[in-house]
């Protein structure tokens, strides 16, 4: 099948479910999302593979072009500052391995490291479980899928929105009761924080300001004047008030998501 005739699929996978969106060659959504539950074994790569095969079979999508956005929960995500004397790729490899060990207390044998390499500035690393990477590879081979992207949600969101950030902004993704906050110092990534948010947090207009100020103090950084968030941004956070850090909700002109998993799938749809 010629590539431009192949169906375009966008997969969104949390640790509790998945959704598949299909687009025709003109970019139009085709049909309703196909959804599957992973509640029998949340976070199981084997169950994800089983349900993914079922969803793809229902979509009749052999040979399709596929992008996949996975919830950040599937990954270990961290920022690495390269050594000042880094001269070769192996120096960056060593810095990533050392940082992984510092954070998680073991080596990365069971993980596939996906760094956004930069020799002169801090960069984000996404570590995917090797069992999950192997399962996705096998499914792709069986169904002749053309994987164009397999990304954590925060990376897909960063790719989509980082051009909208102003100097001094911080950036984050609110999704399904979790906030992934990328802390920036100018153009440099400093750290990635993951924080659960409950209904009380979402209704509290001051919660985001208080959380951001604590993180800035912990890292000895000035608090930002503004945080730009995408995803399910609580409306109370976006109000304007004295002494509050401004919160700007980044909004895509896409179809309303039917579920958190469908929202993940939509994160992989080009703007």
Domains of the chain, by residue range, sit at: 3-70+131-151, 74-128, 156-258
Q: 29-38, 123-132, 165-174, 183-192: which range is least confident on average? A: 29-38
Q: Partners of 8 in the beta sheet?
A: 23, 65
Count of CB atoms within 10 A of residue 208's CB? 27
pLDDT over 90 at 179, yes or no: yes
User: Contact 25/3 with Cβ under 8 angstroms?
Assistant: no
**Whether pLDDT at 30 is above 80:** no
Between 131 and 116, the more confident residue is 131
Q: What is the pLDDT of residue 2?
A: 44
pLDDT at 4 over 60: no
User: Is residue 228's pLDDT more than 50?
Assistant: yes
What mean pLDDT is reported for the chain? 88
Residue 14's alpha-carbon distances to 10, 207, 222, 254, in angstroms, are 14, 25, 34, 20
Q: What percent of the chain has pLDDT over 90?
A: 61
Name which CATH class applies to 3-70+131-151: alpha beta
> Which of left, alpha, beta for 141 (phi over 0: left; psi -120 to 50: alpha)?
alpha
Q: Is the dihedral of CA 252, 155, 36, 195 positive or negative?
A: negative
Q: Kindly report the pTM of this predicted structure.
A: 0.89
State the pLDDT confidence band at 271, using cuts at 50, 70 and 90.
low
Cβ pair 95, 80 in contact under 8 A: yes
* Residue 37 confidence (pLDDT) above 80: yes
Q: How far apart are CA 122 and CA 218, in angstroms?
A: 18
- The C-alpha atoms of residue 222 and residue 228 are separated, in whole angstroms, by 16
As a whole number, mean pLDDT of residues 132-159 equals 93
Question: Alpha-carbon distance 148 to 268, whole Å?
Answer: 10
Looking at the structure, give the CATH architecture of the domain made up of residues 156-258: 2-Layer Sandwich (3.30)
Distance CA 240, CA 13 (A): 34
Q: How far is CA 154 from CA 17, 94, 193, 201, in A?
A: 18, 24, 11, 20
């Amino acid at each position: 099948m010629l590539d431009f005739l192949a169906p375009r699929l966008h997969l969104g996978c949390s640790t509790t479910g998945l959704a598949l969106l299909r687009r025709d060659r003109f970019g139009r959504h085709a049909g309703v999302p196909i959804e599957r539950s992973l509640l029998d074994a949340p976070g199981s790569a084997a169950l994800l593979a089983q349900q993914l095969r079922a969803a793809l079979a229902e979509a009749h999508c052999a040979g399709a072009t596929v992008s996949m956005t996975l919830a950040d929960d599937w990954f270990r995500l961290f920022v690495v500052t390269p050594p000042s004397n880094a001269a070769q790729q192996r120096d960056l490899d060593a810095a990533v391995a050392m940082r992984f060990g510092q954070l998680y207390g073991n080596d990365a044998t069971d993980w596939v490291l996906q760094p956004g390499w930069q020799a002169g500035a801090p960069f984000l690393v996404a570590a995917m479980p090797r069992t999950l990477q192997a399962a996705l590879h096998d499914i792709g081979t069986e169904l002749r899928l053309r994987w164009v992207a397999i990304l954590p949600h925060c990376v897909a969101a960063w790719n989509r929105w980082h051009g909208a950030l102003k100097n001094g902004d911080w950036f984050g993704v609110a999704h399904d009761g979790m906030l992934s906050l990328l802390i920036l110092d100018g153009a440099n990534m400093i750290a990635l924080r993951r924080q659960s948010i409950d209904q009380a947090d979402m209704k509290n207009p001051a919660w985001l300001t208080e959380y951001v100020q604590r993180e800035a103090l912990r890292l000895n950084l000035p608090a930002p004047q503004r945080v730009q968030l995408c995803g399910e941004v609580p409306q109370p956070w976006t109000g304007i008030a004295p002494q509050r850090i401004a919160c700007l909700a980044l909004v895509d002109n896409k179809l309303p998501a039917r579920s958190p998993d469908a929202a993940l799938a939509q994160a992989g749809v080009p703007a």
